[in-house]
Amino acid sequence: MKSFFLALLILASVKEICAQSISNKIVVSLVGKKDKFVKVQVLGGSAYVEGYEGDDLIFEPVSVDGLNASSDTPTGMTNITGLSTKFPSPAINAPNPRVSEDELAMLLIFRQSNQNVVRIKVPSSVHFRIALSNPSPDAKLSVKDLTGELEVSSDAPITEISNTSGPLLFGSSGANVGKLVRISNINWDKLALNSSKRKFWILGAFGDIDISLPENLKATLDIVNKSGNVYSDFKLTPNSQGPAKNEKNSIISDINGGGLTIMLRTETGNMYIRKQK
Amino acid sequence: MKQAILLVLLHLFMGVTYAQTAFKRLTLSVGKGSEIAIITGNASVDIQGYDGDYIVVEHAPARQKTTSLQDGLTEVALNNRGEEDSVITYTAVEKNNLFKINITSNWKHLSIKIPNTTSLFSIQSTTLMPEAELRIENLMCPFSVDVSMKTISITNVSGPFAVKSYSGKVILKNISWKPNVRWTSSPFPYVIRSKNSDIDIHFPDSLKADFSLRTVSGQIFSGLPITPDLKLNGGGIKILIETDNGNIFLRKSVN
């Protein structure tokens, strides 16, 4: 009897600190840890990140139309991948995700094959960083419904960010050309109230930036685009601030008299700044 | 006297170097059977093989690729955006019938003509322009491509060839595959490699080929009757196709 209760106690405490695998879901508790900077790195595949009102980080493999390459055999063709020589892929060893943490931050590294898609549910108010590493043509990162400070890093061809209200820093990684980051439905009113100095920085590097802004938003657009072009249906003309005389390929422009600073940078992509519909 | 001899010897060992000058249209005479190696900068490039004796480099009209993303939007003027120069500058070194040419220009689209009597043509380019494209057409000599551009499109060529792409999609059509040719010391006269993009190749029904297909994390799709030992029509020309993160599409040519 004593052994039985002892075993129960041990099981209960192990459940507190380890990621749980329930069916295909992996659950990492953030109880007592929501003040930490939570960083998730996804290696391979695509990722859909959603904020929610809860206390756990949840990793769940999903099937998304058009994103699971193995289901997208073109008409009239046969998948013959099995006949080919495969270079060895990095082994996905348990535990997955691998978790490490200190007093200030928690890092989770999640590996999956390039054909897989993972949905990651995140308590919406945490200070959160998501990085997706997968430059293959089918990869996609989607991030939405988060209210805390957010950092996004992606080398996927398509990244979408929507319905966020905290400060945002986006950085495109990798040297592939032809990437696109699409940003829409940001809660600008809440963001304007945030005391952070770095409120909205989009650093596109080698890709396009497509951002939708409310037509009546008071903002100052600080734009540098070294090789690509900038297109807009706002009337963007240089304001009295500058840019500095020797600053090339740039413009600082106010919309609706100016206000919140939105920084947009890209080395080689185009920028599309549009009125939100 | 000694100094004069030394100078002559130095010139012979270093080959002939062409002075860098600005041109609107660059024309360089090359002998039959010359080897040509070209490096370009930040521009889309069209390569055409032709029956002539000159390398010809000139400005091509910019491709006005409008995407649906631009619909309803107007281009915004940026501060101090440089105008395209209307000149081409180059440095070229010719030694032992090999022409190495490094082309510099602010133009975003170049046209280059290469004689089909060239023994070996190679092009190297890393451009980060969002819509940069390399097109090779009507080239009937062996060639090598090592570029990073959004798209690499190769049509109506004979090879043998080696194509290496970092992140641009590779599309090959109307290839006059040659049996019994060698490509340096490799057993594969035809090599197509990409790191992060798809490879899409059209093959005639009648082609006899031995494929070597490799991928790290992509998929391979075929519309051809390839046997489990990767032979087409009993096997023949050796073709190596490999990609790290892209997919491979082997299609039947549509006439």
What's the gap in Å between the CA of A161 and the closest CA on chain B?
17
pLDDT: which is higher, A233 or B31: A233
Q: What is the pLDDT of residue A63?
A: 74
Non-local (6+) Cβ contacts of B119 within 8 A are B33, B34, B35, B141, B142
Considering only A17-21, A70-74, A84-88, A103-107, which range has the smallest mean pLDDT? A17-21
Is the CB of residue B64 less than 8 Å away from at least one CB of chain A?
no
> Position B237: which residue type?
I
pLDDT band at B166 (very low <50, low <70, confident <90, very high): confident
Residues of A in contact with B213 (CB under 8 A): 80, 83-85
Is the CB of residue A71 less than 8 Å away from at least one CB of chain B?
no
Question: Quick one: tokens of A107?
Answer: 């890092």
Q: What is the pLDDT of residue A88?
A: 57
Q: What is the pLDDT of residue A237?
A: 85
- What gap in Å lies between CA A86 and CA B56, rounded to an integer? 42
- What gap in Å lies between CA B35 and CA B95, rounded to an integer? 10
Give the chain A residue whose CA is nearest to the CA of B169: A137
Mapped onto helix, strand or coil, the DSSP state of residue B17 is: strand
Nearest to A44 among B217, B228, B249 (CB): B217
Mapped onto helix, strand or coil, the DSSP state of residue A277 is: coil
Residue-wise pLDDT tens digits, B41-69: 888 999 999 999 999 998 888 766 667 89
Q: What is the pLDDT of residue B74?
A: 93
CA-CA distances (angstroms) from residue A223 to A162, A172, A220, B4?
A: 21, 16, 9, 58
> Position A102: which residue type?
D
Mean residue pLDDT of chain B comes to: 85
Considering only A10-24, A93-107, B147-161, B188-202, which range has the smallest mean pLDDT? A10-24
Q: What is the pLDDT of residue A246?
A: 53
- What gap in Å lies between CA A122 and CA A50, rounded to an integer? 6
pLDDT band at B3 (very low <50, low <70, confident <90, very high): low
Closest CA to A149 of A167, A164, A171, A174: A167
- What gap in Å lies between CA B114 and CA B139, rounded to an integer? 8
- What gap in Å lies between CA B136 and CA A251, rounded to an integer? 37
Nearest to B130 among A174, A228, A245 (CB): A228
Q: ω into residue B160 within 30 of 0, thus cis?
A: yes
What's the gap in Å between the CA of B119 and the closest CA on chain A?
32
pLDDT: which is higher, A9 or A57: A57
> Count of CB atoms within 10 A of residue A35's CB?
12
Is the CB of residue A13 less than 8 Å away from at least one CB of chain B?
no
Q: What is the pLDDT of residue B239?
A: 96
Residue A9 has pLDDT above 60, yes or no: no
- What gap in Å lies between CA B234 and CA B222, rounded to an integer? 16
Is A267 in Cβ contact with B230 (below 8 Å)?
Answer: no
Residue B117 has pLDDT above 80, yes or no: yes
What's the gap in Å between the CA of B61 and the closest CA on chain A?
17
Nearest to A177 among B167, B198, B221 (CB): B167
Q: What is the pLDDT of residue B112?
A: 95
Question: Quick one: tokens of B50?
Answer: 């032709």
In chain A, % of residues over pLDDT 90 = 55
Task: Return the ∠ at Cα B246 (arms to B240 and B247), rounded to 5°.
Answer: 70
Q: What mean pLDDT is predicted for residues A220-244?
A: 84
> Count of CB atoms within 10 A of residue B132's CB?
27
Widest pairwise Cα distance in chain B: 74
What's the gap in Å between the CA of A159 and the closest CA on chain B?
15
Global pTM value: 0.80
Q: What mean pLDDT is predicted for residues A59-76?
A: 71
Is the CB of residue A69 less than 8 Å away from at least one CB of chain B?
yes
Q: What is the pLDDT of residue B60?
A: 87
Q: Are A36 and A55 in contact (CB under 8 A)?
A: no
Residue B9 has pLDDT above 90, yes or no: no
Residue B209 has pLDDT above 70, yes or no: yes
Is A177 in Cβ contact with B128 (below 8 Å)?
Answer: yes
pLDDT: which is higher, B97 or B161: B161
Is A233 in Cβ contact with B73 (below 8 Å)?
Answer: yes
Mapped onto helix, strand or coil, the DSSP state of residue B80 is: coil
pLDDT: which is higher, B164 or A65: B164
Q: What mean pLDDT is predicted for residues A208-218?
A: 95
Question: Quick one: tokens of B216?
Answer: 């790290």
pLDDT: which is higher, B131 or B174: B174
Residue A78 has pLDDT above 60, yes or no: yes
The predicted complex's ipTM stands at 0.81
Pairing of strands A250-255, A219-225: antiparallel
Nearest to B246 among A85, A136, A272 (CB): A136
Q: Which candidate in A79, A138, A177, A252 is best for mutational testing of the B interface (most B CBs within 10 A)? A: A177
Specify which of A164-178, B37-51, B87-101 reaches the highest per-range mean pLDDT: B37-51
Q: What is the pLDDT of residue B84?
A: 58
